[in-house]
Each structure stands twice: as structure tokens, then as C-alpha cells.
């Protein structure tokens, strides 16, 4: 709802400022009066939650960086020093390390919400693609950050992931090795690797913040999608963002922070591999090298494929395919509420990603506990379904499925009668 | 290499015979003795911490370092969960000899060539039992006793695992299982062959508070101490967490009421 600005500067200073740098007008139009569909539900509060989590990560991260030493011989000690001797260092570190997990929890809900309500469809393709870029940047930042404590998992995760690039050798001999050694800054993961990972880990969150600004800008041009997936027809369909959604988002944010606080204060190591409390040792490979939970589905895909280069290509394709979703979905109807068939495939995708996450934590040759059923075929099926969902299921559904009839307007749907109610809020 | 080929042949023979492939030497699930610090309100049992410190000092510290823990952290004035008074900590620290810096003549060794040492102060960390990894391995049949500063966080199963290892000796291994030379049978350890000899025997320490020093009691005390060593700010964390939870729940209630009030004129 880009519509023209309704801002009227009230004070002399505001008028003076408005003619020079209309920043108060910008704030008013984007936060206060921004017309928002009146039917947004709980799942739409995760945009605000994600912004909050980015803020938490940046603030705690800046303070942690004041005490952290990015040197192979001192990194682990400096983290332990933060935990023991820095005032509230344990709080900062537990917030930061668990904050990453909650950041990803929120972004996964946000992404699946977008997939369910068709928020990627015209005119919101650019908004969606900016979101995918943020997600990829988040993965990179989280991986770089996981390396910094320089525990066993840090070191070996860095080794495994950077070694993915050696697979290029299979098509361009020596190039992959050269690229990998360039990434390492040496002939193995070591001091230069840690130092540059720290530098990039500090940089990328600010790049994310920049893309978030673009993401919000791209949101505010077409305006929010909504659970019905139909366009806003007029002012009776919307409410001003403030106070309606500021208060609603704050309430859900508070519930989310309660969950976050439970983990930070009572289960701070529940999501951590114990091996990462063992200092990095290049001579001892841990029995099992696994990433953090939020990357396990991709790890399952990688390990389910016996050929290294193809495995790496599948891994990156799993992210890249998200960019094309706006054009892969051929349905004219946005929201899955009105797509009985697509809805089932969507929930199958959710289950599929959870299953891949579970399988990713186990070796490819593992069996399901208490049985002799091997996991590998399920990992391969799961990987196949992930891709099949986006192609050809999504394009075919749009052609084959008969959607249920859509309501005429948001207002009629919300008030439950064909007669438009006139008690729309005063602005 | 000739040796590796020999090993490969032997391995193949073993696999073919199938005799030893049948034993699964993955660790058995750890015991759950229950801890004072369990749960959202669980705190460290102070008396157990003091006894556990005694067990570490008199038994474990012969082989295991505690590099990341300072004497100061033992003090209840440390800002953490210390369990000795400041004068007690000073006395404990002074009981250790730590490397001294160069003296005022620039010497770092005494007349007989030994490094200069001085009594510890609270700011010092626990000095390690061995000068370096090689010395530690030489004294322990090639095995390296791990540092215990964060051992309960560095092992799956945490305190329960460490307790199970310490109390998991003196069991009869299955007939088909071979205990290797210089190793001990411990089914809680991955592979069941552990290099550490049984560390505790009944009445190995004499508790000043009259507690009977059974193996289970000493193990329970020392694991409580090691849990504290790994997480010396746990009590602070749980206390602050309680306040944070109360605030957040009250705040969520107020936000919910505001939300209902603001939206009342729409629905």
C-alpha cells in the first residue's frame, strides 16, 4: 500500500525537518499509519520477531567481540574466560549461541508461513527473493559463528564445509583444491581461517540488516499478504499498523522471548554438541561430525548422495530452488486455505523437512533405533520429495487443482456477513 | 606398511570368523543418581561441593588438571557460586606452588636449575599435575588424562556420565570381551576399555564432617564439584532466570490485555 503520504507535520520543528530530511514522514508512513490487512494471524508476527532476534544477535555479538580472541591458540580459552570471568559473560554467550537457534526457528516458521499463504506470488516476488538472500546470509553467518569457539565441532565443521569446494576438482582439476586453500589461507584449517571467519562473522550481520531494510521496503510497496491471500480492496480491509499490529506483534514477541528465556536460563546447553566443549584438535577426528540442528536437513541431503560433487550441487540447489518458487507456483490462488490438494503436499513438505532434520543427525549407514530399517533410503526419498514439491508438484497443482471459492473482501470474511460493517477504526 | 597389512589381514580373519564382531561395545546408558543442582530451582549442595573439592584435591588432581578454574572462583565473594570464604581461599591457594616470574635479578631458575616457584594466590589457576602432554602420557601408559574444568559439559550425559565412569569399575566383563593390557573394564566408557585405573576405594579420603566415604559418596561429591567447575555461574543463572520469567509472564499478561483493548472495536 504505497499510497501517497498522509503525514501532516504538527510542530514547527517537524515542518522545518520535513522540508530538509523527511525522516519523520518516513517513520510515520512505515510504522504508524502503514495500512495493514486486518486479518493477519499469529504466523504473521514472525517478521517482527526476526527483526528483534537480529538486534539481539548484533548487540550481544558486539559485546562478545570485545572479549573474544580470534587466534587458534586462544579462542577456546577466551570463550571460557567470557563464561567464567566476564561480568554476565555467560548470559551474553548463552543468549548469542541460543539466539542463533531461535533466529532460525523463527525464520523457518516465517518461510513456511510464506509458502502456505502464497506470500511469494505477484506482486511480492522481489520481497520473497530478498528473504531467500537473507536466509542464505543467515546460514553463512551461523556457520562462521559456529567455528569461532574453536571446539572440536567448530574445527571439524569448518574442515568438512570448506572441503565441499574440493569437489570442484572433479570437473576442473586442481581448481577446487586451490579455491579451498584460498578459503583456508593455508594448507589446512588454522589460524588464518579462524581470523577471516571472525572478520566475516562480524561483517555479515550488517549486510543482513541492510537486506532486511530492502525486504521491509519491498513489503511496504505492495503491502502485506494475508491469510486469505486476496488483495486489499479498500480502507475497510485494513487497520493502521500502530497501534493494532504493534501491540499484537509485541504480545507474540513476548511469548517467543519467554521460550527463548527458558532455554537461555534453564537449558543453555541443550542444543550444543558436547564435543564443542573439547578444544579443537586437528589430530583427533570426532566419531560424528554434525552441524547445528537448523542445518541438519541440508546435511541429510548431502550425505544421502554417494557422489561428492552431485551431493554438493544438491545441497546448493536446495537453497537456490527457493528463488524460483514465485514462478514455479502456477496457481492464481495465493492462500492454501482455498487449495485443498496443495495444502496436503505443503504439510508433507513440512514433515519431510523434519524427517530430513532427524536423519541428518545420524550417519548415512545408521538404522532406526530398535529396528534394522536403514535410514539411507528415507534420506534419499526425503531429498527427492523436497525437490519434487517445487518441481513438478507445485506447477502441476496450479493447472490440475480446483481451488475453493474465494471470499470477496477481507472485511466481509472477517465480520462473517455479506454486509460490510462500517465501524472501521478511526485513523 | 608391513604392519598395516598384517593388521588388515588379522582384521579380515576376525571379521570372517565372526567371533568378535558379535560384541557391541557401545557404552551402556549412564546411571541417574539425582543431583542437588537438577531442575530449574536446583542449587549446588555446599557441603557436597566442599567434600568434592577434597576428593579432587586428594585423588583426581594426581593425574587430572583443572586448568580453567581459578582459586578465586572457589570464593563466595567471586560473583559466581563459590563455596569457601575469602580467607579459606587464600589458605587453599597458598598450599599450591605455582611458577614464579623472573626475580629482581632476572633469574627464572634457582641455583640448582629448577624453575622459580612461589605460593599460589587467589588469582592463580589450579596448577596442572604434569608439565606438558608428553609428560602426562609417559606417566599414564600413553593415555592422556583429560582436563576436568568443563568435563561435565564436554561429555554426552554430563554429570551422570562422569559419575557412571567413576563408579563403573569392578564389574565382570562378558566372557567374550577381552580387556586389553593396561586397560580396565568399564561398560559406561565407549569401547569398554578405559585407561584410567579405578580411581576410588572405600575410605580413600577422610571427610572432616563425618560423612562416610563410600565410593558412591565420594563420586557423588566430586561430580558435584566438577559440575560446579564446569558451570560456576549456574546459581546466578537460575536466580536471574526466575526473575526474568516472572517479569516476562507478567509483561505478556499486560500485553495481552492491551491487545484485547486495542482490538476490541474491530471484532
- Range A173-186 average pLDDT: 96
Q: What is the spatial distance between Cα A348 and Cα A337, in angstroms, rounded to a whole number?
A: 15
The shortest C-alpha distance from B82 to chain A (Å) reads 12
A 10 A CB-CB count for A272 gives 18
pLDDT more than 70, % of chain A: 96
Q: What is the spatial distance between Cα A68 and Cα A63, in angstroms, rounded to a whole number?
A: 9
Question: Average model confidence (pLDDT) for chain A?
Answer: 94
The shortest C-alpha distance from B155 to chain A (Å) reads 5
> Is A247 an 8 Å CB contact of chain B?
yes
pLDDT tens digit at each of 267 positions of chain B: 344 444 444 444 444 444 445 688 999 999 999 999 999 999 999 999 999 999 999 999 999 999 999 999 999 887 788 999 999 999 999 999 999 989 999 999 998 988 999 999 999 999 999 999 999 999 999 999 999 999 999 999 999 999 999 999 988 999 999 999 999 999 999 999 999 999 999 999 999 999 999 999 999 999 999 999 999 999 999 999 999 999 999 999 999 999 999 999 886
Question: Which residues of A fall within a CB distance of 8 Å from B154?
Answer: 274-275, 277-278
Q: Is A196 exposed, middle or buried (0-12, 13-18, 19+ CB in 10 A)?
A: middle
Q: For Cα atoms B111, B115, B117, give the angle at the middle one, nearest 5 degrees.
A: 105
> Is A422 an 8 Å CB contact of chain B?
no
Q: Is the dihedral of CA A38, A43, A44, A45 positive or negative?
A: positive
The shortest C-alpha distance from A330 to chain B (Å) reads 34
> Is A243 an 8 Å CB contact of chain B?
yes
**In the structure, what pLDDT confidence band is assigned to residue A416 with cuts at 50, 70 and 90?**
low
pLDDT per residue over A108-144, tens digit each? 999 999 999 999 999 999 999 999 999 999 999 999 9
pLDDT per residue over B51-102, tens digit each? 999 999 999 999 999 999 999 999 988 778 899 999 999 999 999 999 998 9
Question: Which residues of B fall within a CB distance of 8 Å from A262?
Answer: 245
**Cβ–Cβ < 8 Å for A129, A323:** yes
User: Within 13 A of B210's CA, how many CA atoms are on the CB side?
Assistant: 0
A 10 A CB-CB count for B16 gives 9
Looking at residue A197, the DSSP 8-state letter turns out to be H
**Cβ–Cβ < 8 Å for A268, A141:** no
This complex has an ipTM of 0.91
pLDDT per residue over A366-402, tens digit each? 999 999 999 999 999 999 999 999 999 999 999 999 9
Contact check, Cβ <8 Å, A261/B237: no
Residue in chain B closest to A277 (alpha carbons) equals B154
pLDDT (0 to 100) of residue B22 = 64
The shortest C-alpha distance from A252 to chain B (Å) reads 8
pLDDT per residue over A267-297, tens digit each? 999 999 999 999 999 999 998 899 999 999 9
pLDDT per residue over B94-129, tens digit each? 999 999 989 999 999 998 988 999 999 999 999 999
Amino acid at each position: 500500500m504505497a499510497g501517497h503520504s498522509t503525514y501532516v507535520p504538527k510542530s514547527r520543528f517537524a515542518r522545518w525537518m520535513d522540508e530538509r530530511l523527511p525522516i519523520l514522514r518516513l517513520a510515520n508512513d512505515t510504522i504508524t499509519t502503514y495500512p495493514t490487512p486486518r486479518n493477519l494471524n499469529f504466523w504473521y508476527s514472525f517478521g517482527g520477531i526476526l527483526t528483534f532476534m537480529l538486534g539481539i544477535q548484533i548487540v550481544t555479538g558486539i559485546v562478545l567481540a570485545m572479549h573474544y580472541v580470534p587466534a587458534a591458540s586462544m579462542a577456546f580459552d577466551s570463550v571460557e574466560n567470557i563464561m567464567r570471568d566476564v561480568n554476565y559473560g555467560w548470559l551474553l554467550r548463552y543468549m548469542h549461541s541460543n539466539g542463533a537457534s531461535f533466529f532460525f526457528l523463527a525464520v523457518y516458521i516465517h518461510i513456511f508461513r510464506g509458502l502456505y499463504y502464497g506470500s511469494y506470488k505477484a506482486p511480492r516476488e522481489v520481497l520473497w527473493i530478498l528473504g531467500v538472500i537473507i536466509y542464505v546470509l543467515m546460514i553463512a553467518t551461523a556457520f562462521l559463528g559456529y567455528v569461532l569457539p574453536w571446539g572440536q565441532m567448530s574445527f571439524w565443521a569448518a574442515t568438512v564445509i570448506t572441503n565441499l569446494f574440493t569437489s570442484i576438482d572433479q570437473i576442473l582439476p586442481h581448481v577446487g583444491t586451490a579455491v579451498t586453500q584460498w578459503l583456508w589461507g593455508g594448507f589446512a584449517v588454522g589460524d588464518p581461517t579462524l581470523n577471516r571467519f571472525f572478520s566475516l562473522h562480524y561483517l555479515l550481520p550488517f549486510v543482513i540488516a541492510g537486506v532486511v531494510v530492502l525486504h521491509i521496503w519491498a513489503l511496504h510497496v505492495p503491502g502485506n499478504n494475508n491469510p486469505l491471500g486476496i488483495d486489499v480492496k479498500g480502507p475497510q480491509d485494513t487497520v493502521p499498523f500502530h497501534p493494532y499490529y504493534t501491540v499484537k506483534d509485541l504480545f507474540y514477541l513476548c511469548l517467543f522471548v519467554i521460550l527463548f528465556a527458558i532455554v537461555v536460563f534453564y537449558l543453555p546447553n541443550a542444543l550444543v554438541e558436547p564435543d564443542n566443549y573439547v578444544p579443537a584438535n586437528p589430530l583427533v577426528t570426532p566419531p560424528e561430525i554434525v552441524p547445528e540442528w537448523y542445518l541438519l536437513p541440508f546435511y541429510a541431503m548431502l550425505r544421502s548422495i554417494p557422489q561428492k560433487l552431485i551431493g554438493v550441487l544438491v545441497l546448493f540447489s536446495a537453497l537456490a530452488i527457493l528463488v524460483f518458487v514465485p514462478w514455479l507456483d502456477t496457481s492464481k490462488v495465493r492462500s492454501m486455505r482455498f487449495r485443498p490438494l496443495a495444502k496436503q503436499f505443503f504439510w508433507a513438505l513440512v514433515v519431510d523437512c523434519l524427517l530430513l532434520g532427524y536423519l541428518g543427525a545420524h550417519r548415512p549407514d545408521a538404522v532406526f533405533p530398535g529396528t534394522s530399517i536403514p535410514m539411507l533410503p528415507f534420506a534419499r526419498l526425503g531429498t527427492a520429495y523436497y525437490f519434487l514439491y517445487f518441481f513438478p508438484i507445485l506447477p502441476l497443482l496450479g493447472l490440475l487443482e480446483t481451488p475453493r471459492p474465494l471470499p470477496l473482501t477481507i472485511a466481509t470474511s472477517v465480520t462473517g456477513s455479506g454486509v460490510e460493517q462500517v465501524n472501521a477504526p478511526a485513523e | 606398511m608391513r604392519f598395516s597389512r598384517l593388521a588388515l589381514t588379522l582384521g579380515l580373519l576376525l571379521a570372517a570368523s565372526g567371533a568378535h564382531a558379535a560384541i557391541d561395545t557401545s557404552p551402556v546408558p549412564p546411571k541417574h543418581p539425582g543431583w542437588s543442582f537438577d531442575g530449574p530451582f536446583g542449587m549446588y549442595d555446599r557441603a557436597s561441593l566442599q567434600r568434592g573439592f577434597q576428593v579432587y584435591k586428594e585423588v583426581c588432581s594426581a593425574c587430572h588438571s583443572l586448568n580453567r578454574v581459578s582459586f578465586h572462583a572457589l570464593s563466595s565473594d567471586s560473583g559466581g557460586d563459590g563455596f569457601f570464604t575469602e580467607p579459606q581461599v587464600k589458605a587453599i591457594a597458598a598450599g599450591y606452588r605455582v611458577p614464579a616470574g623472573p626475580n629482581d635479578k632476572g633469574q627464572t631458575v634457582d641455583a640448582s636449575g629448577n624453575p622459580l616457584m612461589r605460593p599460589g594466590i587467589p588469582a592463580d589457576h589450579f596448577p596442572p599435575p604434569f608439565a606438558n602432554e608428553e609428560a602426562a602420557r609417559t606417566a599414564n601408559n600413553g593415555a592422556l588424562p583429560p582436563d576436568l574444568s568443563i568435563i561435565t559439559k564436554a561429555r554426552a550425559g554430563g554429570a551422570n556420565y562422569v559419575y557412571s565412569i567413576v563408579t563403573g569399575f569392578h564389574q565382570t566383563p562378558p566372557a567374550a570381551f577381552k580387556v586389553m593390557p593396561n586397560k580396565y573394564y568399564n561398560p559406561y566408557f565407549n569401547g569398554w576399555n578405559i585407561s584410567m585405573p579405578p580411581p576410588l576405594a572405600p575410605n580413600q579420603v577422610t571427610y572432616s564432617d563425618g560423612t562416610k566415604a563410600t565410593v558412591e559418596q565420594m563420586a557423588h561429591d566430586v561430580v558435584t564439584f566438577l559440575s560446579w567447575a564446569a558451570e560456576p555461574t549456574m546459581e546466578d543463572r537460575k536466580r536471574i532466570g526466575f526473575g526474568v520469567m516472572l517479569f516476562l509472564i507478567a509483561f505478556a499478561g499486560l500485553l495481552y490485555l492491551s491487545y484485547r483493548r486495542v482490538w476490541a472495536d474491530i471484532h
